Structure 1
Amino acid sequence: MAVMVKEVRQLRRDRVTLAMIVGIPVMQLVLFGYAINLNLRGLDAGIADQSNTAASRALVMDMVATGVIRPTLSATAPQELMDGLRRGEISVGVVVPPDFERRRAEGREAVQVLVDGSDTVVQSAAIQLAQVPLDSADPPRPGGRSTMSRTGGGQVAVVSFYNPERRSAVNIVPGLIGVILTMTMILFTGVAIVRERERGNMELLIATPVSRTELMAGKVLPYAAIGMVQTTVVLALGMWLFQVPIRGSVLDVYVAAVLLILANLTLGLLISTKARSQFQAMQMTFFVFLPSILLSGFMFPFAGMPKPVQWLAEVLPLTHFIRLVRGVMLRGAGLFELWPDAVALVAFSALMMSLAILRFRKRLD
């Protein structure tokens, strides 16, 4: 009984463990029940209506009415839609050719739906657009009823780019680079300062002439090199075992990896200034790692999440890295085209490093 009472009191004093007792069930329930949604709706879409007739406009309205797509880009040519897909601005492009009316009357392929196939879930959702009837805009028959047959479903062609075979490895391996770097980098640096304190080395660091900034930088740089080794291993195995392509620049992939490594290392340093033990640092790392896995778009589609959850996910470095690495490796985009996510990672690293430096004191107390 005395030991039991002692453990209860110890748990009550350990706020991090106490928070995990309640926080982990609540976090998982909210994330899986509210934020995770495999039934995609509102995919960002571009429309290139080159016919611009009453029937073509009605068709576009019918596709929007399904709720699968949400027009965000108006284009005049299919190439503009392809550029939007490559940059990640849209997930779906709808092309209505100039001779839409003639194609529709002859029963030929009349509409193309261009899909970013780098996400297999997006491909599955976009297939629903192929079921939209092309004759829904016909004038009403006597009696006031309009024709709504399904004969036009075969005239809508869904064209998948970047992963036409729908291989899961093509989608997973690039994101797995970010997952591994997030888990290892935050954990390594999360225990860095705490380990020095537990082993009694803090006195030696206090006696050194290095500044707080130099100490933090010295803690980060060795792990950055480890992160580059991990990136190389995952890339090599992904290409060798799963034939994952690198359509963009390999240098851009490594630059994106460096940005994520720095973001995770600085976040880990901030955690290490707050934690009082290595166990606490691991617990705090778990609180960051779980939302990163679930909300970044690695496992579940980002477009299926509610807007408030998407805003939260924008704070996580892994969200921006997933967009960068998939854009470069699978869509052949350059970092210049994906600059908002690169800037977000740089800003995150600068903020976390500044907070870590401000929180760290070269004092034992």
Structure 2
Amino acid sequence: MTPMLATAIRLLTQLRHDHRSLALVAVLPVVLISIAYALFDGAEPLVDRLQLDMMGVFPLILMCLLTSVAMLRERTSGTLERLMTTPITPWGLIGAYALAFGLLAAAQVAILSAWCFWALDLDIAGPVLAVLLVGVVNALMGVALGLFASAFARTEFQAIQMFPVLVIPQILLCGLFGRREDMAGWLQPVSDVMPLRYSVEALEQLRDHSDLTSTYWADLGIVAAVVVGVLVLASLTLRRRSA
């Protein structure tokens, strides 16, 4: 068994015994999206758009929070230093976190999608599996941001403080609360550098088109490139901290 796979299994085992985190991942998004559905009394097409966009936003939020705290515990408890004396490389450790939390995110998106499509009657033109793909890529972006944020925190409270800096501007400017075309002119270029904006656009392509459009793939590629870039930065922080 490779060190990366062994580390991923260890992380998944820890998560399996953390019932509060599992409830946060599996139950909270379902509850919140149901509240949003009831708040707007099932009004279409607003509710469909909101449900679809939130299926991309929730994985990013929760994986960022969970990963930043989990990696910070590894750093402060000395586990990271011990791991770095084993054959595992920084990239192997990053891959282990991406694998473990990516699987957790896939389960989260699957549960949320099942609830939205079957219980809340979400209707889109595109394939459901393409929605799952966007959700998992967004979750990996959350993992990458969480790993990166953990390098600049010494306590769990400081790690959570990084969340508003890294995530909330993306949520505000991604088009979730209104059309990007209606934003102030100076905000639109800022929105263009936010990766979550491309995730939301990809989901909107699935809402309106039965085929996977070139825009969908381009948007997904941009988000995936950001994930790789942030993971590279996160691996560099591991080298510095373990020296």
Counterpart of 1:205? Answer: 83
Tell me the secondary structure at the aligned position of residue 207 of structure 1.
coil
Is contact 2:90–2:239 with CA below 8 Å preserved after alignment? yes
Which residue of the other structure, out of 222, 227, 242, is the alignment partner of 1:344?
222
What are the residue-to-residue correspondences of 1:212-223 with 2, within 5 Å?
Answer: 212-223=90-101
Counterpart of 1:250? Answer: 128
Counterpart of 2:59? Answer: 181
Question: Alpha carbons of 1:231 and 1:250: their partners in 2 closer, same or farther (altered >3 Å)?
Answer: same
Please identify which structure carries the higher helix content. 2
Q: For 1:221, give the aligned amino acid.
A: L
What are the residue-to-residue correspondences of 1:297-336 with 2, within 5 Å?
Answer: 297-336=175-214
Tell me the secondary structure at the aligned position of residue 313 of structure 1.
helix
What are the residue-to-residue correspondences of 1:46-65 with 2, within 5 Å?
Answer: none
Larger Rg: 1
Is contact 1:170–1:242 with CA below 8 Å preserved after alignment? no
Give distance in 1, aligned partners of 2:211 and 2:196. Answer: 18
For normalisation by structure 1, the TM-score amounts to 0.51
Question: Alpha carbons of 1:276 and 1:354: their partners in 2 closer, same or farther (altered >3 Å)?
Answer: same
Which residue of the other structure, out of 147, 163, 172, is the alignment partner of 1:294?
172
What are the residue-to-residue correspondences of 1:105-254 with 2, within 5 Å?
Answer: 166-254=44-132
Question: Alpha carbons of 1:362 and 1:218: their partners in 2 closer, same or farther (altered >3 Å)?
Answer: farther
Residue 283 of structure 1: how far off its partner (Å): 0.7
Give distance in 2, aligned partners of 1:201 and 1:358. Answer: 18
Is contact 1:256–1:342 with CA below 8 Å preserved after alignment? yes
Q: For 2:119, give the aligned amino acid.
A: L
Give distance in 2, aligned partners of 1:262 and 1:182. Answer: 7
Residue 218 of structure 1: how far off its partner (Å): 0.8
Which residue of the other structure, out of 278, 281, 289, is the alignment partner of 2:156?
278
Question: Alpha carbons of 1:337 and 1:304: their partners in 2 closer, same or farther (altered >3 Å)?
Answer: closer
Q: For 1:346, give the aligned amino acid.
A: A
Give distance in 1, aligned partners of 2:177 and 2:98. Answer: 28
Residue 240 of structure 1: how far off its partner (Å): 2.4
What is the number of equivalent residue pairs in this alignment?
201
Question: Which has the bigger relative contact order, CA under 8 A and spacing at least 6?
Answer: 2
Give distance in 2, aligned partners of 1:364 and 1:340. Answer: 36
Is contact 1:189–1:220 with CA below 8 Å preserved after alignment? no
Give distance in 1, aligned partners of 2:211 and 2:155. Answer: 43
Residue 256 of structure 1: how far off its partner (Å): 1.9
Q: For 1:348, give the aligned amino acid.
A: V
Tell me the secondary structure at the aligned position of residue 191 of structure 1.
helix
Q: For 2:174, give the aligned amino acid.
A: S
Question: Alpha carbons of 1:272 and 1:246: their partners in 2 closer, same or farther (altered >3 Å)?
Answer: same
Q: Which runs of 5+ in 1 are unaligned?
A: 1-164
Identical amino acids, percent of aligned pairs: 28
Residue 293 of structure 1: how far off its partner (Å): 2.0
CA-based RMSD:
2.0
Give distance in 2, aligned partners of 1:222 and 1:335. Answer: 30
Please identify which structure carries the higher strand content. 1
Q: For 1:168, give the aligned amino acid.
A: L
Residue 338 of structure 1: how far off its partner (Å): 2.2
Deviations 1:276-317 (A, max 9, x none): 221111110122232122111111221111233122222222
Deviations 1:11-38 (A, max 9, x none): xxxxxxxxxxxxxxxxxxxxxxxxxxxx
